[in-house]
Amino acid sequence: MPYSPPTPTPATMMPPGVADSGALGTDLSYALANHTHASKARKGIASMGSTVGTYTWVYPTAFGVGVVPICNGIAQTAVGVTDLVNIQIEGAPTNTQCTFRVTRYSRSFLSLLGLDVLTFNSASIPITLHMLALEP
């Protein structure tokens, strides 16, 4: 009797999420052309205006229950702005959200002493917050 290889069938479940390293599969199911893989990253951009204080980012899609993502944020300002904007995570991120503290300092240079001086500034500058949360 001639050998007849197994016939693959369409998968009936969602494909696994993108992994940090590749692995060979053993399942004979094949992926349908319109399938998608879940992302391990959540991305967001928030326009802060000139607001400083806290910003709570609710991820567009929650991570699994008990998953604490690795989060980071960075500030964008207009070309020529010399103010320094500090972004820090306030509290512990959860599987649904992360809170960032946004603090802005004006930078003025005292040429006579050769020192940088940081002061708070009330002048308005637009701040855009870029955010990223990664599943560990």
Pairing outcome for strands 97-110 and 41-49: unpaired
Nearest to 103 by CA among 69, 129, 67: 129
- Residues 9-25: what's their mean pLDDT? 76
State the pTM of this model: 0.72
What is the per-residue pLDDT across 23-41, written as a single tens digit (0 to 9) for each?
A: 777 777 778 878 887 789 9
What is the per-residue pLDDT across 37-85, written as a single tens digit (0 to 9) for each?
A: 778 999 999 998 777 889 999 999 999 999 999 999 999 999 988 888 8
Residue 109 has pLDDT above 90, yes or no: no
Walk me through the domains of the chain, giving residue ranges and CATH numbers: 41-134 (2.60.40)
Residue 24: phi and psi, rounded to 5, are -75, 140
Please tell me the predicted confidence (pLDDT) of residue 110: 43
- Residues 102-130: what's their mean pLDDT? 69
